[in-house]
């Protein structure tokens, strides 16, 4: 219990202290007119209240991540607490705050366009393809996943594909309609429900007869059933993504950047939602380690149920919160992923509109861009869900790594404290490169050579950054040297 309480306190302090440091590093200009005012179109660029943007952003980035990811991450033991706290503060809010604010400063541009500005045309092309692919993966995962859960809860009234069709219709509407007519009306309700579910669970933990494992030196290890097959590094750092750092967040931030009325609200909207998600992930990790008796009990139960995190989340909610918990489970476990899936498609539409410079005021233009996205996503539903989920996880963290390096280059060009993003950039480069080398869906090579290769790649990436920084400094100093020579003459 002490570890959980201290972890939540540290996260809150991280928001106030480190969040303020990041805000100072960025240099907020409260008087500067935002894109929501300058480019208002009544569809995507619409000024919304800060509290409403907060709840929308929270639901956008949350989805199943802080629930399913935390349950799976809890199988590693209390080490999950450490990653959630440190990841959320020193990687998560850095990634979310700067990606959102950079989009805000660049007319609400999509993250792929922002990457292109600071990393060049080649990186922009790669990011455009990579981001759209990731968003389609997200849309597909959050199309089939919720459909399976609802189908099980309703006794197959409409069948799996019937629910897929119903959810797809909802996705089409939420992708095409103005943000203040549909999303801004529903999301705050679902966001509050998800928060209430987390509050209810932590209340049940405190009031019930539960023993939450403490983080100690002896249990700061891999506690999964097969540590050799699932090494703590890098697997834990990809398993818990949305509760620590997630590239998907940077695809959602531009949606909210287009609705902000003032730069000052960026800390609340971007850093605040990331820390809130971290708290939710902490609660679910703690509950998962406790509800099934122990970490070992969690591993045994999950293995007996095909590692079905949806089943585990539903069992925990209903048993710990009663009938009311069942309703919250339906909202949190079903509505949350659906409301991440729809904004994934909306983000993909905006990225394509940015690429082809198409106005989105006309409904027909929005429709023509969106149709191919839904066709591709529906085609991907025919592939094994587990395969799609694994590739989504790695793609998600790789995107986060690219965005962190972009932020580092931006801060370097501004002559400010680039180390706040350099450290997580280096760490996540090591995580993603070693994961793709070790994981079954990757190259599946032995751990030692994989770590050596990934460490070498990380060192080269870091050297490449400092080489870029050296070129920037040389280019910036050149005009000064010329002026000095002219003055001497």
Domain locations along the chain: 2-19+43-401
The mean predicted confidence, pLDDT, of the chain is 86
If you average pLDDT over residues 94-106, what whole number do you get? Answer: 96
Which pLDDT belongs to residue 131?
85
Residue 455, pLDDT > 90, answer: yes
Percent of the chain with pLDDT over 70: 92
CA distance linking residue 179 with residue 256, whole number of Å: 10
Return the H-helix or E-strand segment holding 327: helix 309-329
How many C-beta neighbours within 10 Å does residue 9 have? Answer: 11
Domain 2-19+43-401 has CATH 1.20.1740.10: yes
CA distance linking residue 111 with residue 41, whole number of Å: 20
Check residues 126 and 384 and name the one with the higher pLDDT: 126
pLDDT digit string, tens, across residues 390-427:
677 788 899 999 999 999 999 999 988 999 999 999 99
Which pLDDT belongs to residue 484?
46
pLDDT digit string, tens, across residues 131-176:
888 888 777 777 777 787 777 767 778 888 888 888 888 888 888 8
Which pLDDT belongs to residue 329?
65
How many C-beta neighbours within 10 Å does residue 48 have? Answer: 19
Q: Exposure of 277 by Cβ count < 10 A (0-12 exposed, 13-18 middle, 19+ buried)?
A: buried
Return the H-helix or E-strand segment holding 432: helix 419-438
Q: CB–CB of 270/95 below 8 Å?
A: no
Using pLDDT thresholds of 50, 70 and 90, give the confidence band for residue 372: confident
Q: CB–CB of 268/50 below 8 Å?
A: yes
CA distance linking residue 1 with residue 5, whole number of Å: 6
Q: Exposure of 165 by Cβ count < 10 A (0-12 exposed, 13-18 middle, 19+ buried)?
A: middle
**SS3 of 104, please?**
helix
Q: DSSP string of 274-298?
A: HHHHHHHHHHHHHHHHHHTSSHHHH
Using pLDDT thresholds of 50, 70 and 90, give the confidence band for residue 384: low
Using pLDDT thresholds of 50, 70 and 90, give the confidence band for residue 366: confident
For the ranges 105-119, 203-217, 411-425, the lowest mean pLDDT is seen at 203-217
Check residues 225 and 332 and name the one with the higher pLDDT: 225
Half-sphere exposure of 291 (CA within 13 A, CB side): 24
State CA 258 to chain mean position distance: 19
CA distance linking residue 97 with residue 407, whole number of Å: 10
If you average pLDDT over residues 99-111, what whole number do you get? Answer: 94
pTM flag (> 0.75): yes
Using pLDDT thresholds of 50, 70 and 90, give the confidence band for residue 334: confident
């Amino acid at each position: 219990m002490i570890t959980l309480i201290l972890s939540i306190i540290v996260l809150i302090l991280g928001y106030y202290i480190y969040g303020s440091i990041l805000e100072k590093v960025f240099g907020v200009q409260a008087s500067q007119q935002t894109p929501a005012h300058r480019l208002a179109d009544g569809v995507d660029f619409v000024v919304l209240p800060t509290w409403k943007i907060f709840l929308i952003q929270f639901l956008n980035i949350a989805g199943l991540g802080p629930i399913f990811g935390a349950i799976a991450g809890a199988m590693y033991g209390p080490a999950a607490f450490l990653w959630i706290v440190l990841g959320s503060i020193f990687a998560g809010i850095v990634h979310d705050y700067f990606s959102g604010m950079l989009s805000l400063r660049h007319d609400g541009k999509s993250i792929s366009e922002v990457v292109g500005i600071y990393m060049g045309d080649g990186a922009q092309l790669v990011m455009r393809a990579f981001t759209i692919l990731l968003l389609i993966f997200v849309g597909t995962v959050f199309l089939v996943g919720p459909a399976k859960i609802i189908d099980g809860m309703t006794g197959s009234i409409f069948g799996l594909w019937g629910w897929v069709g119903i959810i797809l219709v909802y996705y089409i509407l939420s992708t095409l309609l103005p943000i203040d007519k549909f999303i801004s009306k529903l999301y705050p309700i679902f966001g509050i429900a998800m928060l209430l579910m987390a509050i209810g669970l932590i209340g049940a933990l405190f009031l019930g007869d539960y023993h939450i494992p403490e983080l100690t030196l002896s249990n700061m290890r891999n506690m999964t059933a097969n540590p050799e097959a699932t090494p703590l590094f890098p697997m834990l750092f990809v398993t818990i993504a949305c509760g620590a750092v997630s590239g998907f967040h940077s695809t959602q931030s531009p949606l909210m950047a287009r609705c902000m009325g003032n730069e000052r609200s960026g800390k609340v909207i971007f850093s605040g939602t990331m820390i809130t998600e971290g708290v939710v992930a902490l609660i679910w990790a703690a509950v998962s380690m406790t509800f099934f008796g122990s970490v070992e009990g969690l591993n045994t139960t999950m293995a007996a149920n095909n590692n079905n995190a949806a089943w585990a989340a539903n069992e925990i909610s209903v048993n710990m919160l009663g009938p009311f918990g069942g309703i919250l489970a339906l909202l949190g476990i079903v509505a949350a992923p659906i409301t991440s899936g729809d904004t994934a498609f909306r983000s993909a539409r905006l990225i394509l509109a940015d690429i082809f410079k198409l106005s989105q005021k006309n409904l027909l233009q929005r429709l023509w861009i969106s149709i191919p996205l839904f066709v591709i996503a529906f085609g991907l539903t025919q592939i094994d869900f587990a395969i799609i989920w694994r590739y989504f996880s790695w793609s998600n963290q790789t995107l986060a790594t690219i965005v962190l390096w972009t932020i580092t280059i931006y801060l370097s060009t501004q002559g400010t404290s680039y180390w706040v993003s350099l450290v997580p950039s280096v760490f996540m480069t090591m995580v993603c490169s070693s994961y793709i080398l070790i994981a079954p869906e990757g190259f599946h090579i032995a751990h030692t050579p994989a770590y050596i290769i990934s460490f070498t790649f990380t060192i080269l990436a870091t050297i490449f950054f400092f080489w870029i920084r050296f070129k920037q400094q040389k280019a910036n100093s050149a005009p000064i040297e010329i002026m000095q020579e002219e003055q001497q003459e």
